[in-house]
Amino acid sequence: MKKFVATLWLLIWTPFVFAQDLNYGENGFVAEFEIDAAHTTDGMNYQISASGEAGPYGRVWLSYEFTDKQSNGESGEFTGFAWTQNGEQFATATLQGVYRRKGAIFQMYSLDMVSDGVINIVSGEVDFVAKTMTFKVSPLN
């Protein structure tokens, strides 16, 4: 019986012991955006566009489409696209992640692939009333 319990314990906890954490980069920054427009064409999917400053990327223009494919009502997924300019340097990025509503604020979690080869981990909050989006951004190592 002791061997059975020990084996069961190992089977349950081994994945957690050897699990890898996400490795955030050292060059993290805060990105702040203002929502320029928001709309829906079907009452179920929503599109927004925003612009602002994002650390080393300079001026950034974002577009998102929010969906709720699991019909949760309070959470869902999104995809998006970003275009940046910092002086004469340009970059683009694809944006994909999940969101959930916490009261009046929406929390977003995203993995973004940038055209310079960097993958960014992004988490932040969206306040549609204040028309603001604030994100913590860190390169994934």
Note the pLDDT tens digit of each residue in 19-66. 555 666 788 999 999 999 999 988 888 999 999 999 999 999 999 999
Residue 11 forms part of a structural domain:
no
Q: How many domains does the chain have?
A: 1
- Does 125 map to a domain? yes
Q: Is 2 among the domain residues?
A: no
CB atoms within 10 A of CB 53: 15
pTM (whole model) above 0.85: no
Residue range(s) defining the domain that contains residue 33: 23-139
* 62 belongs to a structural domain: yes
Question: Minimal CA–CA distance to 99: which of 110, 91, 108?
Answer: 108
Q: Is 1 a domain residue?
A: no
Does 121 reside within a domain?
Answer: yes
Q: Is residue 8 part of a domain?
A: no
N-term to C-term CA, the chain = 44
What's 127's domain CATH number?
Answer: 2.40.350
